[in-house]
Structure 1
Amino acid sequence: MSEDPRREVQEMNAAVMPLRFDSAEPSVAWILGAEALPGHIDPDGVALRWTGHERTYAQLRARALGLAASLRAEGLEPGDRVVGHLLNRGETFELYFACAYAGLTFVSLNWRLTEHEIETIFDDCQPRRAFTQEQVAEPLAAVAARRDVAVTLLADDAPGEQYERLAATAPAAGEIDRAEPHLILYTSGTTGRPKGVMLGHDNILSFAFQQATMYPGLDASAVTLVIAPTFNTAGINETSIPTFLVGGTVALHPSGGWTPERMAALIDEWRVTHSIVFPSMMEPLLEADRRSQLGFASLRFVLTGGENCPPATMARFRERWPDAELAIGYGATESGVVTLIRGAEIARHPGSCGRVAPGMAVRLLDPEGEPVEPGEVGELWVAGGSIVRGYWNAPELTAATLRDGWLHSGDLARIGEDGHLYLEGRTKDLIISKGQNIYPAEIENVLSEHPDLLEWTVVGLADEEWGEAVCAAVVAKPGAEVEAGDVVAFVQERLASYKKPRHVVFLDELPRNPGKKVLKDEVARIAGDRLAAESVR
């Protein structure tokens, strides 16, 4: 990459994508059009569908413009923050595009947060306006009242009169206002405080055009099922915005209560063609399918990622649903999708995250910042058009994470002779046991082959003798009889003896965040407490 990775990426994007980066100030509002809907979008086509509701593209654009006019009339100025605190429902995207038209920054907030957590975020981003709904309103309403932030309360099964009045406001004349960033997504911070990831208009558009060209069959006929919550990037950016870009339908899975059967019913009812399926969902889907076939007849493309993708699990999923092309993507909120591998390539390169995606670049460095030798594991740095602008109100964290246009991912990886990227885990998850580097992903891939395990993860626990001891936390399949010794023996038969688990902890389920990633710190805490309690018996 050149000394200006962002500019070089823009030039690469322009060569392979239908977006020309000939404007210094692109806007997310372009997706629905400045003066009118873009010509390739059918005004009567369904843009949004969720339980009991839908919006055409004409309705989505009109309502977004009405909300934009209302917010401006209330006195909000370009750059002011607007909070959306909603379950998966279409109004989130009406607000998303309204903020794009009005030049406001949208903050999509996790509805599971406590009052204390919401207060911390309000103190950080200082919102002027908030929208919530009855089921989850209490903690946000309490904070907003203390901060004198106006709140619109939506009903759980309908927008409600106040919101409808705002959406029905006549659009204001004039050009699109624009502010940076367009979107702030709060993620867990290593210090215990949430960090606000800032996504600019150019980041979002670059990512959307990249995905629209990489995902097969993503066009106006596509129906994309959004399983992830719309307060994280997998729900609001990775699947939804590329689908809007091509004029397809975004179908929102209800928040909470995911089951294989519920997902299958929605796929059949809505004729879903594209979906994310997190790796943690695959084994439950396969188990449910063995009990009663799930179908998935309309499904054409499945994207997975977000955590380790065991080759054995990927193979079983592809074998069961061969007509739904599987792709594994690697990325993060701060980067978008960095690499992708699809279809038959997955079997030819087991464990691979794929090759570098269009418009992105990677490099692997040692702890001193020097490039590692080919094939060696290094810390992964990423550059590209979708790389975030930094963290809200956190200049020191931004400076530590972003250097000369390169993002420090916090992941360990290697590039194989085949040119594919192979993840070895998070830098902080590396286990050092008696001087040996042990990568949890390698052990997790082996555990994925165990016939009696439904879920699994590997963490390091402090140990006086070993420094860190390998601990496998596992969930057995219903009715399975498996013991700790069976798990240890299974790993030892397939890996060097120093990589075998020193401890095996059985759990009812693995703790996960809303994006379905395993909370390894929480697993380590639970396992440590369990082992400590057993040692004093």
Structure 2
Amino acid sequence: MKSLTCKQGFLHRFVDFSESHPDNVAIRNLDADETVTYRALRIRAEECNGLLDGLGISPGVKVALVLPNGVDFIAYYLAIIGRGAIPVILNHKLTAFELSNVLRIAQPVLIVTTDTLCEQHLETLQPFRSLILSTGDEPSAPLPKNAVIASGLPRQALPLSLPEDDAIVSVQFTYRGVGKPLAVTHRYLDLTQSSDGLHEQFHPQGIGSVHLVTLPLYAIFGLSVMMVFPLSIGATLLMTNTLLNRDLAQVLSEHQVTFACLVPDVIRYFNARLVKRKGALLPLHPRLMIYSGGSHLPADEAEKLGKLLGCAPVLQGYGLTESMPVIVQSSVGAVHRGAMGQPISGVELRVVDAHGRDVAAGAIGELWIRGPMVTPGYEDEPQLNAYSFRDGWFHTGDLVWRDDEGHVFFYCQRLRISKIKAQMVDLAEIESIALQHPDAVRAKAYIVPDQKEVNVLHLSVEGNGGLSQNDVSTLLARYLSGFKLPKFIEIVPLKEEIHAR
């Protein structure tokens, strides 16, 4: 793939489409029955830019987005990079403990969030300046002292300043099995090039194509594939946060969706529902592509959804917060059953043994990757960077194998991290919270796949006397998001106490 210039970056392309095809639909929000054209989205982003300007946001400073998927998320994201500021993109479902950890690392000068989320995290947000977007309900509690309500500020649209260099356009957080969140940055042209590399593997998309947005935009997979990609080719984003309450076949058929990404748990859910669906298959777009990401999807589940919908089997991709999507099954080439695919343009990969030597086809080894899509390292983590990033290669920690044609197949994760419901889980973090209980002495979190190859989180805690499963589960729920909570908790009496008896 050729090197890009700034004039080919995704914001430049979006602005071009807002001028050449202003009335084309950029976003159709099913939940709010809202349609936003490319021109209207640009105006909305320019209004957000005006609000940020009024609050004194200058180029190079960090602005945190703590918002659900929706038009506001997209408009403010475009506005932040259109000011030359740096978006810090956070999961809006984090607990107060998790949110305070990432904010302490990121130190944004402003947080953009909703009044509902502000009330939920009132104490956590107090030290920070906040811009509050209304959800329509009156606040039931006082806002933080440094908060301002967007609806009360004067409206002034300011044009977006298009990046003139390879600026940072996202800061996101991940885990590496060290018990704390790690900040990862991505740049303007690299994010664009990743989207272009993916598109080379897809049936051509563009004006008239419809992309079903179901992945969270706070994750790099959602941001790059579900927002940056469609807005840079003039496609329509079909958005909903309530897909699980809808008929998937009806949504795909009614809106003639051409591209959709679903995580494995959602695919399993709809497979179970579609088996019970009565009536004839609904007419789908003839080149509908459904992809899976976020974690490994067994081949039989991929094929099952295709049969139930009457379309091609689900294809897979692979990426990391550290790398953006870098491996994908091609919709225009040969598909190898169960594979994650092959590297996109601009990405190099190796599969190596414990000594860093390349292994033969069919042998299992650790996946190493490099290319412009790979972050240069974690912010302020020199020791971890020296271990994870060497000679330009990122050591993913994922064990894989390749067939004779270079298709990559997932085997397992080597680090003490895992994916639960397509979300990253750091086993060391869970153990550290369990050990906050005064009667807990040792803790061990581990993963056991169930009969459907779904990762199930287990926790064993060794402790004194009256330590109970309820004690541990209550403690974990106070600090951690629901997907990090173990399904099974085992309490083991201290060995010293057993011997004493």
The TM-score by the shorter chain falls in which range?
0.7 to 0.9
Contact 1:227 / 1:253 at 8 angstroms: preserved in 2?
A: yes
CA change 1:417–1:156 in 2 (3 A) is farther
Are the aligned partners of 1:224 and 1:274 in contact in 2 as well (CA < 8 Å)? yes
1:143 aligned residue (107, 124, 134): 124
**8 Å contact from structure 1 (residues 102, 178) kept in 2:** no
Residue identity matched to 1:151? L
SS at match of 2:411: strand
Alignment-derived partner of residue 249 in structure 1: 236
Q: 1:282 and 2:267 equivalent?
A: yes
When residues 469 and 246 of structure 1 are mapped into structure 2, their CA distance, relative to the original with a 3 A threshold, is closer
For 1:30-179, what aligned pairs fall within 5 Å after superposition? 30-33=12-15, 37=17, 41-50=20-29, 51-52=31-32, 53-145=34-126, 147-155=127-135, 162-163=149-150, 168-171=155-158, 176=163
**3-state SS of paired residue (1:138):** helix
In the other structure, the counterpart of 1:314 is 302
User: Is the 8 Å Cα contact of residues 49 and 55 (structure 1) preserved in structure 2?
Assistant: yes
Find the counterpart in structure 2 of residue 224 from structure 1: 211
1:233 equivalent among 199, 215, 220: 220
Query: Separation in 1 of the partners of 2:10 and 2:374?
Result: 16
CA distance in 2, matches of 1:157, 1:244: 31
In the alignment, is residue 329 of structure 1 matched against residue 298 of structure 2?
no
Give the direction of change, closer, same or farther, for the CA distance of 1:353–1:333 in structure 2 (3 Å limit): same
Alignment-derived partner of residue 459 in structure 2 = none
**What corresponds to 2:450 in structure 1?**
473
Aligned to 1:21: 4
Amino acid at match of 1:46: V
The 8 Å contact of residues 292 and 317 in structure 2, kept in 1 or not, is answered as yes
Residue 529 of structure 1: aligned partner: 490
Residue in structure 2 matched with residue 416 of structure 1 by the alignment: 403
Q: Classify the secondary structure of the residue corresponding to 2:415.
A: helix
| Equivalence for 1:4 | none
2:159 equivalent to 1:182: no
**Residue in 1 that maps onto 2:329:** 341
Instruction: Rate the CA distance shift 1:60–1:393 in 2: closer, same or farther, 3 A.
Output: farther
Q: Secondary structure of 1:380's match?
A: strand
Q: Give CA deviations for 1:66-103 in whole Å, capped at 9, x if unaligned.
A: 32233234222222111111122111111111111100
Instruction: Report deviation, 1:419.
Output: 2.2
Q: Which residue of 1 aligns with 2:202?
A: 215
**Cα distance in 2 between the residues matched to 1:235 and 1:335:** 13
**Counterpart contact for 1:355–1:419, Cα < 8 Å:** yes
**CA distance in structure 2 between the aligned counterparts of 1:235 and 1:215, rounded to whole angstroms:** 17
Distance in 1 separating the partners of 2:296 and 2:28:
31
Answering whether residue 405 of structure 2 is matched by residue 426 of structure 1, we say no
Give the TM-score normalised by structure 2: 0.75
Match of 1:507 in 2: none
Q: Contact 2:370–2:392 (CA<8 Å) still a contact in 1? A: yes
The residue matched to 2:268 in structure 1 has which SS?
A: helix
Letter in 2 for 1:529: E
Shift of the 174–148 alpha-carbon distance from structure 1 to 2, 3 Å rule, reads closer
Distance (whole Å) between structure 2 residues aligned to residue 48 and residue 470 of structure 1: 39
Q: Go from structure 1 to structure 2 and tell me whether the alpha carbon gap of 1:392 and 1:372 turns closer, same or farther (over 3 Å shift).
A: same
**Structure 2 unmatched ranges of 5 or more:** 139-147, 420-426, 428-444, 454-481
Describe the SS at the equivalent of 1:424.
Answer: strand
Shift of 1:275: 0.7
Give a deviation string over 1:32-51, Cα, whole Å, max 9, x none: 23xx5466x51111111222
Contact 1:79 1:179 in 2 (8 A): no
Could you tell me how far apart the structure 2 residues matched to 1:258 and 1:181 are? 32
What whole-Å deviation, never above 9, does each CA across 1:363-382 have from its counterpart, x for those lacking one? 11222222223432111011
Q: Which residue of 1 aligns with 2:360?
A: 373
SS of residue paired to 1:428 = coil
Which residue identity is paired with 1:259? L
* Matches of 1:429 and 1:319, distance apart in 2: 36
Deviation at 1:362, TM superposition (A): 0.5
2:214·2:261 contact (CA, 8 Å) conserved in 1? yes
For residues 217 and 306 of structure 1, the distance between their equivalents in structure 2, rounded to whole angstroms, comes to 23
Q: What is the Cα deviation at residue 394 of structure 1?
A: 2.7
Matches within 5 A, 1:480-491: none
Note the C-alpha offset of 1:224. Answer: 0.8
1:104–1:179 CA contact under 8 A, matched in 2: no
Determine the C-alpha separation between the residues in 2 that align with 1:244 and 1:175.
15
SS in 2 for 1:391: coil
**Which deviates further from its counterpart, 291-300 or 166-175?**
166-175
Check 1:214–1:527 CA distance in 2 against 1; reply closer, same or farther (3 A cut): same
Distance in 1, Cα, partners of 2:162 & 2:183: 28
Contact 2:25 2:236 in 1 (8 A): yes
Change (3 A) 1:351 1:325: closer
Q: Secondary structure at the match of 2:399?
A: strand
CA contact (8 A) 1:224 1:240 kept: no
Distance 1:469 1:80, change over 3 A: closer
Contact 1:473 1:527 in 2 (8 A): no
Shift of 1:474: 4.7
Q: CA RMSD in A?
A: 3.6
Unpaired segments ≥5 residues, structure 1 = 1-12, 15-19, 431-439, 442-458, 460-467, 477-517
TM-score of the superposed pair, with normalisation by structure 1: 0.71
Rounded to whole Å, the distance in 1 between the matches of 2:155 and 2:313 is: 41
**Superposition deviation, residue 526 in structure 1:** 3.9
Q: Indicate the residue corresponding to 1:5 in structure 2.
A: none
Residues 218-269 of structure 1: per-residue CA shift (max 9 Å, x gap): 2111111111112112322222211111101112221xx5526354454345
Work out the percentage of aligned pairs sharing the same amino acid.
21
Separation (CA, whole Å) in 2 of partners of 1:122 and 1:175: 27
Q: Deviations over 1:293-339 (max 9, x none)?
A: 48563351101132222122222223333435632112222222222
Q: Is the 8 A contact 2:51 2:150 kept in 1?
A: no
